[in-house]
Amino acid sequence: MSERLLLPPRYHEIDDDTPLIFLAGPIQGAEDWQTPTAENLLAHNDRLAVASPRLHRKEADFNKQAQVFWELDHIWRASRLGGVAFWWAAQNHSLPYKEGRSYGQTSRFELGAISMAQKIDPEVRAWIGYDPAYTPGGGGSQEYAELMREWFVPGDEIFTSLDDMIEAIKTDTADL
């Protein structure tokens, strides 16, 4: 199963017929939702690969540009091979977080990119969800994101349960 879990900064060869799901959403200041989600999806579908940007420990030689490019490359690949799952976890204020940085700011850019890709190509798959405590906990932008999604992908479901979103991904990728 581990060979199907793609983690930065390493690039893995995957075939064009291997469905790939990218797990997008806040990492800094958020509980690790990516690892159990990846494990759940990989256990469900043995053809699936999952790309998770979460680093389990930051290397001394961490390269921010390399991380960002890895994420963008895998989001692009997932948009062509499977889909991108966005989960806005509530911020855990007991976890370290860079002061002055908007919570989930990178994920907001990624959502914009995928939304535009879906407007151009309706075959691009994306699943979007918000922890009910995301906005009250300081995340913000949920209302704008929902309005934006309505313009880009009218009627697209916005999940309020990670478990429900995972089940939708399983259903939507069963035929891949």
pTM of the model: 0.93
- Set out the domains of the chain in order of their start, with CATH numbers: 2-173 (3.40.50.450)
Mean pLDDT value across residues 111-118: 94
DSSP state of 2: G
Please answer whether residues 21 and 126 qualify as being in contact, where contact means their C-beta atoms are separated by less than 8 angstroms: no
- Does pLDDT of 115 surpass 60? yes
**What span, in angstroms and rounded, lies between the C-alpha atoms of 75 and 134?**
23
Please answer whether residues 165 and 159 qualify as being in contact, where contact means their C-beta atoms are separated by less than 8 angstroms: yes
Please answer whether residues 65 and 3 qualify as being in contact, where contact means their C-beta atoms are separated by less than 8 angstroms: no
Tell me, what's the pLDDT at 138? Answer: 61
Tell me, what's the pLDDT at 51? Answer: 97
Contacts of 14 (CB under 8 A, 6+ apart): 6, 20, 49, 77, 81
In 3-state terms, what secondary structure has residue 63?
coil
pLDDT tens readout for residues 8-41 = 988 888 888 899 999 999 998 999 999 999 999 9
Closest CA to 23 of 66, 61, 70: 70
Mean pLDDT value across residues 128-145: 81
Mean pLDDT value across residues 106-116: 93
Which helix or strand (DSSP H or E) is residue 146 part of?
helix 142-152
Contacts of 164 (CB under 8 A, 6+ apart): 129
Please answer whether residues 140 and 148 qualify as being in contact, where contact means their C-beta atoms are separated by less than 8 angstroms: no
- Residue 29 backbone zone (phi > 0: left; psi -120 to 50: alpha; other: beta): left
* CA separation, residue 109 to residues 48, 71, 104, 114, 145 (Å): 25, 12, 9, 9, 11
Written as one letter, the residue type at 80 is: R
- Does pLDDT of 1 surpass 70? no
